[in-house]
């Protein structure tokens, strides 16, 4: 890309995964204080023509994935320590709900296992 990225901005290359083919990418400039929710709203409001077949009904279902993790709406680009004046890559996917964090899943599974005694028949004599 021949265009210089402003030193106070972050260039996000957002990849919209497409079923059965490689994802479609589009680049957007954001400030470090922009949150994941701000980015989703901006992309929704400026939906690229080349993504017309993948359009969504509302911004709230657009989710950003960075380094394999879903970003919650209030996370800013600064909090992710993305470099200013550079391009960072994220995936953008339509999804109603975010999955539970892995640590919570693990805690819940171990909690279920530890309380398993009385889920079968127990006798206290």
* CATH number for region 10-100: 3.10.20.90
The full set of domain ranges for the chain reads 10-100
Q: What is the pLDDT of residues 4-30, one digit of tens each?
A: 899 999 999 999 986 555 678 999 999
Show the beta-strand stretches assigned E in the chain.
10-18, 21-30, 62-66, 69-70, 87-94
User: pTM of the predicted model, to two decimals?
Assistant: 0.74
- How many C-beta neighbours within 10 Å does residue 36 have? 23
């Amino acid at each position: 890309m021949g265009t210089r990225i402003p030193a106070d901005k972050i260039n996000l290359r957002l990849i919209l995964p497409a079923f059965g083919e490689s994802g479609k990418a589009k680049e957007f400039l954001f400030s470090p204080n922009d949150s994941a929710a701000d980015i989703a709203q901006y992309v929704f409001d400026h939906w690229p023509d080349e993504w017309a077949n993948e359009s969504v009904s509302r911004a709230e279902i657009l989710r950003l994935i960075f380094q394999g993790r879903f970003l919650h709406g209030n996370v800013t680009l600064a909090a992710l320590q993305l470099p200013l004046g550079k391009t960072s890559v994220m995936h953008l996917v339509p999804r109603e709900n975010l999955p539970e964090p892995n640590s919570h899943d693990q805690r819940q599974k171990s909690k279920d296992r530890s309380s398993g005694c009385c889920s079968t028949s127990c006798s206290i004599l």
